[in-house]
Amino acid sequence: MTQTRTLYLICSAAPPVFDVARVIEDAQARGWDVCLGLTPTAAHWLAGSLDGLAALTGHPVRWQYKLPGDPDVWPPADALLFAPATFNSVNAWALGLTDRFVVGVAAEALGKGTPAVAMPCANAALARHPQFEQSLATLRTAGVEVLYGDTGYVPGAPGTDDPGPFPWPLALDAVTTLGIRTP
Ligand SMILES: Cc1cc2nc3c(=O)[nH]c(=O)nc-3n(C[C@H](O)[C@H](O)[C@H](O)COP(=O)(O)O)c2cc1C
């Protein structure tokens, strides 16, 4: 019998986060048990949908650290997908700045050897900031499959609320392939 595998889907505050219910259903159709983690800003954007997303995944949606002594409410991860990963979250993850719960989860995943995929969503101006390329290189060196540019999200122009097409199926394909390869 095939055991269900657990995917931590981590989303930060860029417009593709509004697709998350459909993405969860797609991941579930691929056999994943999905736990949804959000940055505080993403949780604020999705405030009206959090109960429905918890019902859809069957797990609490998390965006804050638990209190000391509280139990872990998620099963251990078999793979992690950080998408959309904002400029801010990419840099925080690479620099190890874990004041936000989900960045802490993603940072620990590197040390645990959890297969991890990131699809950044940062416009072309942010992408030219000198830290951004370094952060992507750091994450790649740590084993994260980064889907950006030719291999993933193609940055749009700055100055608009619409970041352009976000290829969610590529992200799910990548994490599913990685998660299957690593039992
Ligand atoms: C309408 C709107 C669209 C945004 N789109 C993006 C985006 O595509 N990429 C990005 O890096 N930041 C974007 N931002 C800015 C982030 O939401 C902001 O930097 C936030 O602090 C990110 O926090 P987080 O990484 O903790 O989610 C957008 C903000 C707004 C209000």
- Domain boundaries, given as residue ranges, for the chain: 5-66+73-181
Task: Give the position, in ligand 1's atom list, of the atom nearest the Cα of 87.
Answer: 11
The best mutation among 10, 64, 86 to test binding of ligand 1, ranked by most ligand atoms within 8 Å of the C-beta, falls on 86
CA 183-138-103 angle, 5° bins: 70
Q: Which two tokens stand for residue 68?
A: 């000391």
Distance CA 31, CA 16 (A): 22
- Please tell me the residue having the least CA distance from ligand 1 atom 6: 14
Residue of 143, 23, 9 lying closest to 77 (CA atoms): 9
Strand partners, 62: 37
**Residues enclosing ligand 1, CB less than 6 A?**
12-15, 39, 41-42, 86-89, 100, 121-122, 126, 161, 163
- Please tell me the residue having the least CA distance from ligand 1 atom 8: 14
Q: Which two tokens stand for residue 40?
A: 């505080």
pLDDT of 182:
59
pLDDT of 1:
40
- Please tell me the residue having the least CA distance from ligand 1 atom 28: 14
Q: What is the largest CA-CA distance in the chain?
A: 50
**pTM (two decimals):** 0.96
Instruction: Determine the residue type at 24.
Output: I
For 5-66+73-181, CATH number out of 3.40.50.2000, 3.90.1150.10, 3.40.50.1950, 1.10.1060.10 equals 3.40.50.1950
Distance CA 143, CA 113 (A): 8
Could you read off the pLDDT tens digit of each residue along the chain, which spans 183 residues? 456 899 999 999 999 999 999 999 999 999 999 999 999 999 999 999 999 999 999 999 999 999 999 999 999 999 999 999 999 999 999 999 999 999 999 999 999 999 999 999 999 999 999 999 999 999 999 999 999 998 899 998 887 778 778 999 999 999 999 977 655
Q: Which two tokens stand for residue 101?
A: 């719960």
